[in-house]
């Protein structure tokens, strides 16, 4: 059964919009959201502690580490500050992601091949702290090979281009979108890179822009272990609550159709 990691960043986004600088007093509390996600069947909780603290705060991460009963995945930039926080707090997984101040959300994967020595050093530090270390990458063979050489345990494949193609084509696998690739080609690309990841002895996860409409074809790829989904689940929870939103996504991911 494929696993679901629920990203709760945007619960914190809503809190910060009304209570900046008051994470203890403000609502909704992402720590409470994590508990509801657990009850809905989540296999893991993901948060991204950004340099600018735009949503998740240090307090949130520390409480989640104490209270979450399932895997805690910390998305983080490969900076000295974040490495030190990961070493101190000790999430189950540290997922290295690129980070830009002007971006709304993470766009594109890490260029591990372009900074191999730096990433190998970061991975070694995080592994020495007892963490599983994951890389968020675009579906490119050079990045998979570099991730393996750097010592990563997991590669999470960026599914944003697939989601964009799906939306442009209305899910029709034979219609070409503006990126000049069709849905089927994007799925084949992700599947092929997943095979490379597994062949090199790493776990294969995926995520970014997955939702209730497009998750099925990715969830049914052979050998994929875990999907990380956040915005779609938090958006759905506005209408039905986190617990039901997670349960609905988990059901879709594990339905063979």
Q: Catalytic residues, which ones?
A: 48, 75, 208
Instruction: Specify whether the CB–CB gap between 151 and 112 falls below 8 A.
Output: no
DSSP state of 113: G
Q: How far is Cα 55 from Cα 60, in angstroms, rounded to an integer? A: 10
> How many residues does the structure list for the chain?
257
Paired sense of beta strands 154-158 and 3-7, if any: unpaired
Q: Mention every residue, 6+ apart, whose C-beta is less than 8 A from residue 177.
A: 164, 165, 167, 168, 169, 183
Other C-beta atoms lying within 10 Å of the C-beta of residue 101? 8
């Amino acid at each position: 059964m494929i696993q679901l990691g629920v990203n709760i960043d945007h619960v914190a986004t809503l809190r910060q919009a009304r209570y900046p600088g008051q994470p203890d007093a403000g609502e909704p509390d992402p720590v409470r959201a994590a508990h509801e996600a657990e009850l809905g069947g989540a296999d893991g909780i993901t948060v991204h502690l950004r340099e600018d603290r735009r949503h998740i705060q240090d307090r949130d991460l520390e409480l989640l580490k104490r209270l979450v009963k399932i895997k805690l995945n910390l998305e983080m930039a490969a900076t000295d500050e974040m490495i030190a926080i990961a070493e101190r707090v000790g999430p189950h997984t540290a997922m290295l992601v690129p980070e830009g101040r002007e971006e709304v959300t993470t766009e594109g994967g890490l260029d591990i091949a372009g900074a191999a020595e730096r990433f190998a050093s970061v991975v070694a530090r995080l592994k020495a702290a007892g963490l599983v270390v994951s890389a968020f990458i675009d579906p490119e063979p050079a990045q998979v090979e570099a991730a393996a050489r750097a010592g990563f345990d997991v590669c999470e494949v960026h599914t944003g281009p697939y989601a964009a193609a799906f939306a442009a084509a209305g899910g029709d696998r034979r219609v070409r979108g503006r990126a000049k690739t069709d849905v089927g080609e994007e799925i084949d690309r992700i599947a092929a890179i997943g095979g490379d990841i597994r062949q090199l002895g790493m776990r294969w996860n995926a995520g970014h822009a997955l939702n209730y409409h497009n998750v099925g074809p990715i969830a049914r790829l052979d050998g994929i272990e875990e999907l990380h989904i956040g915005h779609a689940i938090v958006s759905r929870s506005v209408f039905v609550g986190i617990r039901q939103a997670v349960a609905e996504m988990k059901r879709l991911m594990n339905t063979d159709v």
